[in-house]
Structure 1
Amino acid sequence: MIVGIEGTIERKDPTFVHINVNGLIYEVMISLNTSNAIQDKRVKLFTTQIIREDAHLLFGFMDMNEKKMFDTVLKINGVGPKVGLAICSTFTPETFARVVSSKDVGLLKRVPGIGPKAASRILVELADFIVDGEGESSGNSAMVEAIMALESLGFKKDAIQKALSGCSGDTSTLVKEGLKKLQRL
């Protein structure tokens, strides 16, 4: 499986690039966000390879979180690579995480190829979508860890988020505060 590609750009369109890797030229499908991020002739992309009966396809991303977002939405029944790329072209991973957490069907319907039913299904199946990476603050990672700890104790995600809203601190402080508030709910 090809998980990355590095080479020189031979041709660049908004939705794909041709990358020359030591004389072998690969066509890599890209999102509009990745297309805008490519500034140099030399490029390194994180890739997802999809092998079908009629094609071997490469999808490239400058940002690892964008690749993770693409891979995550592909796991949803009825979402293929074309719609996955449309989602990556419409939203950054951080914005998409906010859309999913706020369950905003209206924003998700703006993506070409996604109607109201598909938008609702995507939001239900991605209720636990979390973006991770270097851009994540330590406070945010403490919140994520606290939520996972409370979920492992058997509490429902909605109740946990209600209990932890407005709380801050390290993971252990958040878990203690959450437990206090969850006992009252």
Structure 2
Amino acid sequence: MIIGLDGIIEYKEPSSVHLNVNGVIYEVFISLHTYSSIGSEKVKLHTHHVIREDAQQLYGFEQKSEKILFEGMLKINGIGPKAALAICSTFTPEQFAGIISSKDINALKKVPGIGPKSAGRIMVELAGFDAVLLGSGITATTATTEASMALEALGFKKEQIGKALSASGATDTAALVKDALKQLQKL
């Protein structure tokens, strides 16, 4: 699994870059936000590697929070990499967190390829995900994401997990899970 690339940009367009990493050139699909924020020479991208029966694709993001948003979208049934990338191109992670917390379905329907059904499904599936996106810094966001995945594996619903994690002031994964389990017992 390729989780990051650091190299020189050979070719750049709004939807992808060709990245030369020690003589090997990778095609990496990017969001419009990443396109506008990267320079024209050297870049480091956080990547998500999609392996399909007929293709392998890399999706790259300059910000870790944008990668977390992309990966969160892929967990939703019916949302593939292209739709997830369209969401990342339309909204910053902070804007998306605001849309989720305010339950603004109309804003989601403006994304190319997202209709009313998909927008509704995103709202239901990602309830509480705004806490993950708005976590303080990369470490807290990573810890919150890991805690959320651990609690999901235990069978708790995303909505409950989001409420429990937002009530915790902890910054490391183990403490977040412990605090969240205490909160979830009360529910």
Aligned to 2:60: 60
Aligned to 1:47: 47
If the length of structure 2 is used for normalisation, what is the TM-score? 0.75
Aligned to 2:110: 110
Secondary structure at the residue paired with 2:10? strand
If the length of structure 1 is used for normalisation, what is the TM-score? 0.76
Aligned to 1:134: 137
* Higher helix content, 1 or 2: 2
Secondary structure at the residue paired with 1:20? strand
User: Equivalents in 2 of 1:111, 1:105: separation in Å?
Assistant: 11
Which portions of structure 1, spanning 4 or more consecutive aligned residues, are displaced by more than 3 angstroms? 141-144, 146-151
Cα displacement (A) at 1:101: 1.1
Cα displacement (A) at 1:109: 0.4
Secondary structure at the residue paired with 1:46? strand
* Number of residue pairs aligned between Structure 1 and Structure 2: 152
Aligned to 1:25: 25
Kindly report which structure 2 residues correspond to 1:143-162, keeping only aligned pairs within 5 A, or say none: 143-145=166-168, 148=180, 151-155=183-187
Aligned to 1:93: 93
Cα displacement (A) at 1:74: 0.2
Please, what is the CA RMSD of the aligned residues?
2.2
Structure 1: segments with no counterpart, 5+ residues: 156-185
Q: 1:54 to 1:136 in 2, by over 3 A?
A: closer
User: Equivalents in 1 of 2:181, 2:81: separation in Å?
Assistant: 33
> What percent of counterpart residues are identical?
52
Q: Does the 8 A contact of 2:65 with 2:93 survive in 1?
A: yes
User: Equivalents in 2 of 1:143, 1:79: separation in Å?
Assistant: 26
Partner AA of 1:95 in structure 2: Q
* 1:9 and 2:9 correspond: yes
Q: Does the 8 A contact of 1:65 with 1:133 survive in 2?
A: no
CA deviation vs aligned residue, 1:103-126 (integer Å, no higher than 9, x gap): 110000010000011100110000
Q: 1:133 to 1:26 in 2, by over 3 A?
A: farther
User: Equivalents in 2 of 1:116, 1:93: separation in Å?
Assistant: 21
Cα displacement (A) at 1:151: 3.9
Cα displacement (A) at 1:9: 0.2
Partner AA of 1:66 in structure 2: E
Partner AA of 1:5 in structure 2: L
